C-alpha cells in the first residue's frame, strides 16, 4: 500500500482543503475557479475603495506662467 496523502492547502476564500497539484487544481491555492474569482473580485473591490486622491502638494507646474 503506497497511499501517500495528497498535499492540500487551505483555500483562502472558503477555507476548504484545496489540492496543491496544479494539474488537478489549476485554481490553486483556491479550491476552485469560483473561489479564485471571488478572491480576485474582492481585491478589485478593495482597490476601488481606495480614493485616488492627488496629493495636495502635488505641483504639475504652472502652464499659465509661461
Residue closest to 36 by CA, chosen among 20, 19, 17, 14: 14
Query: What minimum distance in Å lies between the beta carbon of 57 and Zn ion?
Result: 44
Distance CA 45, CA 20 (A): 27
Note the residues at the interface with Zn ion (CB under 5 A). 11, 13-14, 31, 35
Query: What minimum distance in Å lies between the beta carbon of 31 and Zn ion?
Result: 3
Query: What minimum distance in Å lies between the beta carbon of 23 and Zn ion?
Result: 18
Residue closer to Zn ion (CB basis): 29 or 63:
29
Distance CA 49, CA 13 (A): 20
Amino acid at each position: 500500500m503506497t497511499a501517500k496523502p495528497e498535499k492540500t492547502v487551505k483555500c483562502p476564500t472558503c477555507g476548504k482543503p484545496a489540492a496543491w497539484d496544479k494539474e488537478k487544481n489549476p485554481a490553486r491555492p483556491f479550491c476552485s475557479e469560483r473561489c479564485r474569482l471571488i478572491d480576485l473580485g474582492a481585491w478589485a473591490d478593495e482597490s476601488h475603495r481606495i480614493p485616488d486622491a492627488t496629493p495636495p502638494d502635488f505641483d504639475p507646474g504652472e502652464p499659465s506662467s509661461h
